[in-house]
Structures are given as structure tokens and as C-alpha cells.
Amino acid sequence: MFDALAIRNQFPILKTKLGNYPLIYFDNGATSQKPQCVIDEIEHYYTSENANIHRGVHHLSQLATEKYEQARETIRKFLGAKHNHEIIFTSGTTAGINLVASSFGKTLNTGDEILITEMEHHSNIVPWQMLAEEKGLVLRYIPISKTGELVLDEIENLINTKTKLVALTHVSNALGTINPIEKIITLAHKQGAKVLIDAAQSLQHFQVNVQKLDCDFLVFSGHKIFGPTGVGILYGKEELLNAMPPYQGGGDMIKTVSMIKTVYNDLPHKFEAGTPNIEGGICLGKAIEWFVALDLKSIAEYEHDLLMYATKRISEIDGVIIYGTAKNKSSILSFLIDGTHPYDVGTLLNQQGIAVRTGHHCTQPIMDFFGIPGTIRASFCFYNTKEEIDFFIDALKRCVKMLK
Amino acid sequence: MSIAKKETEIIDDFSIYQDWMEKYEYIIELGKDLPLIDEKFKTPENVIKGCQSTVWLYADKVNGRIRYTADADAIITKGLIALLVSVLSDETSDDILNAELKFIKEIGLQEHLSPTRSNGLVAMVKQMKLYALALKMKS
């Protein structure tokens, strides 16, 4: 049996009290909390290891460089990538997508097509819209159904010989849907298209192997997977990254610079201009080390149980409408209560110590599809408990009584 | 009644509520007394927009004083704007522009004061003062 309480104890923030109420943190989709070992690592870095990395001959610089590169290795293993230099440190998922849009985008031509889905986060829509406008590309969308699943009936038309890239989310941040990315990758590759996976909402729930999956790019954020904010990863296949022009120019991404010409550095440094978030990278490595040492299979089962339990209990409340009822779903519960505004519900839940997210969750096309301005989203992590869900349901009932 | 006096009354009204729930119930009740904006003024230019809920605010000058009407799609937001309207409506432009509105903190609504909070009280107060300023010159 999975021991949520033992894990919970490693997260100091979860002991917070808000007035008379214990904090119930159900906003894990926005960011995860951090275990003590990651918090300690941040402190340790600044008390014992801080120096600028690469090219320093002194002790601290070598130490920090070694730790930073070890983190890259930890992340490579976690993703199942072939080479360390396929792991590019970024500032987060958004930065990773923008890097690909900018650099891979330079290799595209007018009339080329990019395929995304109707359930993408704005960060996987806007960079492609910008690129499409700049280069005269065609941006297409895989539609979604009332259950919040991708409609693949037209997929053979949507992915065609003009399609150069399919960029889609593994797990929907607003609906929880787990998308059949294996199938889409296979179809895309048949037509010669590359595939970018937005794994911001998936890796903290289940492991992904980029080589088995055969995705061309994969991006995620450190802060959603128990690491610090401001650091993230872009995985890309070596040959693709090598073929792409650099993203930003600056230090670290060069081999030689003269007044006439610059020779760019090799991977991964080619895409890591400037002093990176060294502490972030090292501590993300620590967070992932910590995470993979857990029993990930039990975690997946436990989180699924939490979702099922919350789904069942919330249905007790009159007028609840759940958005996102896919068969294959991650631990995200998005809903509205008939006759109430999500902002009101969120405000009153906050008064009872409960952190949920309300609004459009940066997925306005999903909200437009359902014809709603937003939802209330409770997103669960393995440190949450059924007792917390019970408390949440009672608090919700109290809100409804006040608001109706 | 002066703005300061109305503020004191609100502070007194709220002081009897210890529990957050009673406080919010009272705010929700206040929303029901809000002088509603005429539907024809529910136009995009009268919206105080945020990503969480929508507030419509309109102001006119009646006998030299500013009169506000408003509405909101969320009922707590509606209660909050009602609270502000009850304090600032039927006052002169100068009094409105000089109002410090200290009662907001006193009654424990400071969490709604964050400037980044969508449709927070800050945005509402700012818009109300802008109306007061714009109407100042109008006879």
C-alpha cells in the first residue's frame, strides 16, 4: 500500500494553517510543492557550490559545472534519451516551445503546415500562431469532443505531406485527458512530420521514455515536477538539434568569435546562451532523483484512486458539471456548479484553506468549445489524501449553500 | 453623509461578524442592494475586465454629485462593488478623488486589495476615481 502520509511529511509547506483551516493544496497542475531535500539542495548550492559554470579553472566553478552536468545526466536517464547533449536546459515549457518555434521554425517554408490541437495551453498555441504569421504557414487544429478527447476521425487528412510538425500536449492541463500520443507520433512520422510533446502535465504522474515513444521534441517545466521554478527541459533528437540554427546568441553557445564570423558551439551548449539557471538545473536534477526513487507505479494507482474518489464524491452535489470525462485521465478535476460563478466558489474555498484554480487555465479555445468562461480545477498529487477530498466536498457544499 | 462616516458605519457593521462565512454572506447580501447599471450601458467600454469575473460600472453626475451604477457576473464581486458604490455614490468628485478608503483593510478584505488580483478592489476604485475625475468638469 502506498504511504501518502510518509511522503507528505517530506513537504514542509503542507503543514501550513490558514486561519483555523489546514492548507489543502489542490493546485498541483499549476505548480507542485517541493520536498525538503530539494529545498535543502537549493540552500546547499548557495552555501557551498555557487560559481559560474563551464570554463572556470577554480574549484567552485568545476564543482558547480560537475553538479550541473550530473543533473543533465539524471534528466537524460529519466527521459530515456540517448545522449546527454539532447537535454537542453531552458527556463520552462514555454521557453522550450518558443525555442523550437524559433529555430526549427527557421527551416520551414511558406505553405508548410503545423498541426496542434484544440486543447493546447496558450503556450503551445501562440508561438505557432506567431510563426505561422511570420512565415506564411498553415496552422491546423485536431478538434476535441464533448468528453474532452481528441477527435481523430479526420487525422489522416490533418496530417498530410505538407505537415512539418505536430505539437501537442500529453495531458490536458484543463481537462486531464491523456492523449494517445503514440498513435499520433506514428501517423506523423509516416508523413515525415516531426512531433513535439508538451509533457508539462504528464511527467510528474508517469514515466515517459522518449526513445520508445520516438518523439522528436519533448518539453517540460521543473516547477511542476517538484523542482524549482524558472528551469525546464527541451529534449530533442540529436540530428534535429544539430540541423537547427541556434536560438539566442551569447556566451557559452559559441566556439570562437571573431569580428567577421562566429563558430557555434556543439550541443547542448549551442542552445544554452548566457549563464543559465545553475541552481535551478542542479535542484531539478535533485527533484527528479527523488521522484524516480519513489514507486511510480503505486503513485499512478494512488492518484487514479484519488481522482475516482473525488469524481464520485463531487457528483453528490446538485448541479455539478465535470469538464473532461475522458476514459484515460490524469488526476485533474475540472468542473462548474450550475448557478454559481467559479470565481465565487474559488474565493469561498480559499476562505476554508483550499487552494484550487479558477478561470480559463490558459486554454481559452477549450472554454470556447464548451461555451463557458472558465472552470474550477482541482488537481491532485500523490501527497493529497482522501480525507482532504472529503473536506473539500464539505467545503464545496457550504459554498453552494451560500451562493445559491 | 460623508465618505468617512459611511466608512465608519461599514466597519461597525462588519465588526459583528467574526467568522469569514458570515462576512461573505453579508457581502453577498450587499450585492442585492447594488443600484444596477442600465442594460444599455453594459458595453465593452464600461467593463472593468479581468480574467476571473466581469464588472460593469457606469457613473453620471446628479445635482453636482457622482452617482454610480454597476453589475457583476460573480456575486462576491457584485457585493464588493456594491460596498464601494455605497460609500462613494452621491459624493462630490473632489471627495471621491481624495477618499483613502481605509475601511477595506479594516474589515479584513485586504486579500482583495492585491493590485494583480483580477477585478480586485484596486481596479474598481481606480475606475470609480477615473469617472469622478472625468465628470468633475461636467456641469
Q: What is the CATH number of the domain that holds B75?
A: 3.90.1010.10
Inter-chain touch B24–A402, beta carbons under 8 Å: yes
The CATH number assigned to the domain holding A98 equals 3.40.640.10
Contact A403 B21 (CB under 8 A): no
Q: Do A358 and B20 touch (CB under 8 A)?
A: no
* Residues A201, A344 share a domain: no
Q: Are residues A219 and A305 in the same domain?
A: no
Note the maximum CA span of chain A: 72
Give the closest of B20, B51, B53 to A341, CB-based. B53
Claim to verify: residue A239 and residue A90 sit in the same structural domain? yes
Contacts of B75 in chain A (CB under 8 A): 341, 344, 403
DSSP line for A315-366: TTSTTEEEE---SSB-SEEEEEETTS-HHHHHHHHHHTTEE-EEE-TT-HHH
Please tell me the total count of domains within chain B: 1
Q: Which residues of A touch B31 (CB under 8 A)?
A: none
Residue numbers in B near A348 (CB within 8 A): 24, 76
Residues of chain A found within 8 Å of residue B28, distances taken between Cβ atoms: 402-403
CATH number at residue A358: 3.90.1150.10
With 0.95 as the threshold, say if the pTM is over it: no
Q: Are B24 and A374 inside 8 Å of each other by CB? A: no
Task: Note down the domain range covering A286.
Answer: 39-292
B20 and A351 within 8 Å at the Cβ level: the answer is yes
- How many alpha carbons lie under 13 Å from residue A7 in its C-beta half-sphere? 21
The pLDDT of residue B115: 56
Q: Which three cell numbers stand for residue B88?
A: 462613494
Using the 3D structure, point to which of A275, A292, A309 is the last residue of a domain. A292
- How many domains does one find in chain A? 2
pLDDT at B52: 72
Q: What is the reported pLDDT for A404?
A: 85
Residue of B nearest to A402 (CA): B25
Active site residue A362: yes
What would the pLDDT profile of A90-140 be if each residue is shown by its tens digit? 999 999 999 999 999 999 999 999 999 999 999 999 999 999 999 999 999
- A344 shares a domain with A254: no
pLDDT at B114: 58
Task: Spell out, as residue ranges, where chain A has pLDDT lower than 50.
Answer: none
pLDDT at A117: 98
Q: Which residues of chain B have pLDDT under 50?
A: 51
What is the structure's pLDDT at B48?
A: 87
Among A292, A311, A335, the domain boundary falls at: A292
Instruction: Check whether residue A217 and residue A170 sit in a common domain.
Output: yes
C-alpha cell at A17: 494553517
Considering the domain architecture, whether residues A139 and A264 belong to the same structural domain is answered as yes
Domain residues for the domain of B86 are 3-136
Q: Dihedral through CA A93, CA A97, CA A103, CA A104, nearest 10?
A: 130
Last residue of a domain, one of A239, A258, A292: A292
